[in-house]
Structure 1
Amino acid sequence: MTTDAPPSGKTPSGAFSVLSQRADFLRAARARRVPMPAFLLQARKRAVDEPAQTAIRVGYTCSKKVGNAVARNRAKRRLREIARAVVPLEGQPGWDYVLIGRAGETATRDFAALKDDLARALRKAHR
């Protein structure tokens, strides 16, 4: 039987968990906000008593303002993909990030620009 974990015991560089509990989204909503043209980033450092202090956690949301279900799902797919590419490099362990899609922008903005925006937003959040 093989495992995907590297021999050092560390998690792979692309590994982060996904937020699914409503309470985690509500806590992130009260934290730092970094607006970008195609999305809003909410970032918060987890408290010491919260579980998974070393993991990076990311959540995605798009309201009905973004459009119908097809448009919302497309926007969330793009947010997931930029998070997969950027968060392991720019994110910090012990932090929760929520990416909120914007109407008309998240689904249409150039993908390279989206990735650059996320990298810039994460740097701003950690200042």
Structure 2
Amino acid sequence: MTPTVLTKRADFLAANRGLRVARPGFVLLVRPNGGEGMRYGITVTKKIGNAVVRNRMKRRFRELLRAALPEHGLPDHDHVLIGRDGGVERDFAQLGEELEAALTRAREGKGDPPRRPRKGSRRPRR
């Protein structure tokens, strides 16, 4: 089964409330999606670098997910990769191993502790 791409912002926000597995090059978010099949999304913020760097990182992540999700992904879950600073310089094979390890942790339900709220964040969540 080939995974489909997340396109709606609401899906990315929903994934942010799911399981979180942090690695040096990325953060993996995994959340059940109610039977819509295996889906994935990629996010790289402007903090990372210029457009060339961000697009390169997204291309690398896309290829990693295409290779790893059919075998190691969770069925009927959304998978979101968030790029971290330094992820573009990491070795591609090493990123692949880290993604497989992160997917294994997610399958076992072993996520990292939830993030603390940002300081000064007064806006209610929608």
Give the TM-score band, short-chain normalised.
0.7 to 0.9
Q: What residue in structure 1 maps to residue 4 of structure 2?
A: 17
Q: What residue in structure 1 maps to residue 82 of structure 2?
A: 100
Choose which of 26, 36, 60 in structure 2 pairs with 1:39. 26
CA RMSD, Structure 1 to Structure 2 (Å):
1.0
Q: What residue in structure 2 maps to residue 110 of structure 1?
A: 91
Matched, 1:74 2:41: no
Q: Which amino acid aligns with 2:5?
A: V
Identity rate of aligned residues, in percent?
48
Q: Quick one: distance in 1 between partners of 2:24 and 2:49?
A: 17
Q: Which amino acid aligns with 1:32?
A: L
Question: Structure 1 regions of 5+ residues with no counterpart?
Answer: 1-10, 48-52
Aligned length: 108
Q: Quick one: distance in 1 between partners of 2:83 and 2:36?
A: 26
Choose which of 27, 33, 48 in structure 1 pairs with 2:14. 27
Query: Normalising to structure 1: TM-score of the pair?
Result: 0.82
Q: Quick one: distance in 2 between partners of 1:55 and 1:32?
A: 17
Q: Quick one: distance in 1 between partners of 2:81 and 2:87?
A: 10
Q: Which amino acid aligns with 1:55?
A: G
Q: Quick one: distance in 2 between partners of 1:108 and 1:100?
A: 15
Q: Please state how far the C-alpha of 1:46 moved relative to its aligned partner.
A: 1.8
Contact map agreement 1:16 1:88 (CA 8 A) in 2:
yes
Q: Please state how far the C-alpha of 1:54 moved relative to its aligned partner.
A: 5.5
Q: Quick one: distance in 1 between partners of 2:96 and 2:68?
A: 7
Structure 1 runs, 4 residues or longer, greater than 6 Å off: none
